[in-house]
Chains A and B, each alone.
Chain A
């Protein structure tokens, strides 16, 4: 039903190593690596915005693919520099696409799954044949360097995913989409435009809810290729240890940090061959909300 035709990303242009920020954050480069598991992050410069990065990632799609017949564009971001219209509208108006339905949503680390779920619904209901998902965030602009345990985790970036309705594509087998009641302030943009994260609260959400829900999706499955949101070292170590069964657990956070809704498409782009040869994949996003959205797709 759904075929991943091409995925491209555009990341913040400042490649920030641990030694680049050790004095500013008050941890040595080695301590940053031990605590976060991250070697480097991609930070937007002063003129790079979520919209600009999304458009840059889209232009890489336009270079090689037929985009004229894209009939649906969905974007997701927590940190647009223009509150409205959406990033999907921004890219549409700066593209060669001529007639598409445009949807912009506000979500964090579940965002790619939220968009994918809408695309699947539209494909299944014959309301779209070819869709573009855009993810884009620049969290670093909203996290002071003094907030070291959060600032060292996140990267800025955007992605474009071109999807086609296709008989030899993936079909949605099962999915879960839940939000933990009472967790509104665990990860949010506060009224001073600073991002605040209750790290222990987010980890507790992962341990107490996300892992169980993922296990319920794949408890009867073997050899699932799992592409999880690249939240960070501890969350991914815990997930990989607690998820039951013999599965392949992809990760690349070490060299990219947490790219919010771009982390899953960034991982898929780097494992694109594996994605297209796989028969069974689990995409799993969790974070802001606190929400969890995972989908098991099969060929």
Chain B
């Protein structure tokens, strides 16, 4: 996983070293507060604005990881 720290901060209630990239976000407890955490971290730490509708399309942990990578790469 490329964005372990961000994902661990977003999914604060689960230990991401113990989960698989194919696990669904629903199963990992990703909820509206997780979306808020992700938007806040990306805005405050990387100055990247995320539309919550984009987050709703993500299914697995791997999707989330790739999504974050794309956002970080596009902001360079």
Is A85 part of the contact surface with B, judged by Cβ < 8 Å?
A: no
Interface centre among B13, B32, B36, B52 (most CB of A within 10 A): B36
A242 at interface (Cβ–Cβ under 8 A)? yes
The 8 Å CB contact of B39, one of A31, A34, A35, A207, is A207
**In the complex the two chains form, what is the Cα distance from A237 to B52 in whole Å?**
18
Kindly count the residue-residue contacts between A and B in the assembled complex, taking CB atoms under 8 Å apart: 43
Evaluate contact between B39 and A204: CB separation under 8 angstroms: yes
Measured between alpha carbons, how far is A120 from B40 in the docked complex, in Å?
Answer: 35
Contacts of A204 in B (CB 8 A): 39, 49-52
Report chain B residues within 8 Å CB of A34.
12
- A201 CB to closest chain B CB, in angstroms? 6
Of the four ranges (under 10, 10 to 19, 20 to 34, 35 or more), the interface on chain B belongs to 10 to 19
Q: Size band of the A side of the interface?
A: 10 to 19
Q: How far, in whole Å, are A203 and B52 apart by their CA atoms in the complex?
A: 9
Chain A interface, >50% SS class: helix
Chain A residue contacts of B37, Cβ below 8 A: 234
Q: B39 touching A200 by the CB < 8 A rule?
A: yes
Residues of B within 8 A of A199 (CB): 32-33, 35-36
A237 touches B35 (CB 8 A): no
With the chains together, A248 CA to B32 CA distance in Å? 30
Chain B interface, >50% SS class: helix
A2-49 interface with B by 8 A CB criterion: 31, 34-35
Pairwise interchain contact B43-A200, C-beta atoms closer than 8 A: no
Cross-chain pairs A/B with CB under 8 angstroms, 10 sampled: A31-B13, A34-B12, A200-B39, A203-B52, A204-B49, A204-B51, A234-B40, A238-B43, A238-B44, A242-B43
In addition to A200-B32, A200-B35, 20 A-B residue pairs with Cβ atoms within 8 Å of each other are A31-B13, A34-B12, A149-B33, A199-B32, A199-B33, A199-B36, A200-B39, A200-B55, A201-B52, A203-B36, A203-B40, A204-B51, A204-B52, A207-B39, A207-B43, A207-B49, A234-B40, A237-B40, A238-B43, A242-B43
Interface residues of chain A, those whose CB is within 8 Å of chain B, are: 31, 34-35, 149, 198-201, 203-204, 207-208, 234, 237-238, 241-242
